[in-house]
Structure 1
């Protein structure tokens, strides 16, 4: 082979290598771009071999991924004919997609305050153990950031309403008690929304006999005023058995506090 032919060969190899490296660079850069979960699951894809219908919305999935993650999916898929979809009319679309993100490795999902409640419920419903364990870790870590529960009646030990002075009329004005949750970073927030979410978590963990997160949740709920507790438990349809358990734990907590304050052990 002469020198010119050799140089042409080197140029072709260099061109192919450069093009290939550039192609791989573009592929790798795409990993940094988050895949839109709606675009992925709401459109038919190659190898998507099962349809899931949520409130008339079709989701496209593959049987192998669902079956490997959840024994509930596996049993339902075995019972269904090949072309028959799975139907769930009691699950929110975005909640279900949040769970699917943890099943498919192309996503990089995170558990946050916005999705933790739905993920707890769905991971238990579908017995998705990996997600169940991840949610429990999140719950315990989150509850450990709570320092205490207090209210805006700093000088009063009584539950019920607070009284503040009205400078204009000279009369006492009644204000409802406001429970506050204080975190270890000293940030205080109104307890209402947080307590509602904790009751949702308790509803799931209590019914699955998971004592670790149950006790951690109770350690916060037992400090909450009756009004806040009743509103929260009513909003998430807590049954009478769980209500009785919460009130019993709360009564024992108040009794311990009383004995500590009055040294009557």
Structure 2
């Protein structure tokens, strides 16, 4: 099937110039297909673990080396820009506190050759790295994802009734964990799907940990609006798993206490 691009440009004398460019995918060579990624998705690990033309900096993660381009990293991150300015001898950069796979996820957003997406699996590490390296484009993209995700939550409740009788669809996502809990805290989404809240709470705590210390109040308040509805037992387990410090714990429990007070007053007014 032929794709046709037509460009018309009118001149002052009333005549027009028409240029037509046509191309079929059958005419593209196998090498070109591979180069422009028509048939094959580029393997991120292979791309960065091997030295390529014009790569000019080595970054080491626990003895694993990747090859990157200073210009692209500097354009995305002022942190990288400062590192490269100070690194006059073009020495390798060492990051032993960052997981290589997480860093490669961020690189996919920096390099235009890739077509990445934010999802539930990578959002937590992308939020963290976007703030660490002050990568503003990724910070904004992650915040949009977080806000849209939280907007899909309809309510939080304890599983003290038979959900199926009310037409709810319960989906367990704890893989058998936390079965010792007599009551499950459930999160219901607007599509009427209900899931065990534990792993969602863990993710929310991870996000809060980053947003709180960067004074980003919009996602912070939205995350708290969910956490304040969670039972103390579930919160304690999640906060311990994520290693939340006492300052953020105090903030969460203060907001939760105020929420419960509002619920109490509303019930008594009614």
TM range, smaller chain: 0.7 to 0.9
Instruction: Return the alpha-carbon distance in structure 1 between the equivalents of residues 61 and 24 of structure 2.
Output: 44
Q: Which residue of 2 aligns with 1:106?
A: 113
Map 1:87-236; keep pairs closer than 5 Å: 87-154=94-161, 176-236=182-242
Unaligned 5+ runs, structure 1: 1-16, 156-173
Q: Which residue of 2 aligns with 1:60?
A: 67
Q: Which residue of 1 aligns with 2:165?
A: none
**Structure 1 position 262, deviation (Å):** 1.9
Point out the structure with max Rg over C-alpha.
1
Larger relative helix fraction: 1
Match of 1:241 among 235, 247, 251: 247
**Structure 1 position 182, deviation (Å):** 0.6
- Asked if the contact 2:60/2:94 (under 8 Å) is kept, the reply is yes
- Scaled by the length of structure 1, the TM-score of the pair is 0.82
Residues 227-252 of structure 1 deviation map (CA, whole Å, 9 limit, x = unaligned) = 11111111111111111110011011
Match of 2:55 among 48, 69, 76: 48
- Scaled by the length of structure 2, the TM-score of the pair is 0.80
- Asked if the contact 2:57/2:68 (under 8 Å) is kept, the reply is yes
**CA RMSD, Structure 1 to Structure 2 (Å):** 2.3
Unaligned 5+ runs, structure 2: 1-21, 163-179
Query: How many equivalent pairs are there?
Result: 230
Match of 2:260 among 232, 254, 265: 254
Instruction: Return the alpha-carbon distance in structure 2 between the equivalents of residues 54 and 35 of structure 1.
Output: 21
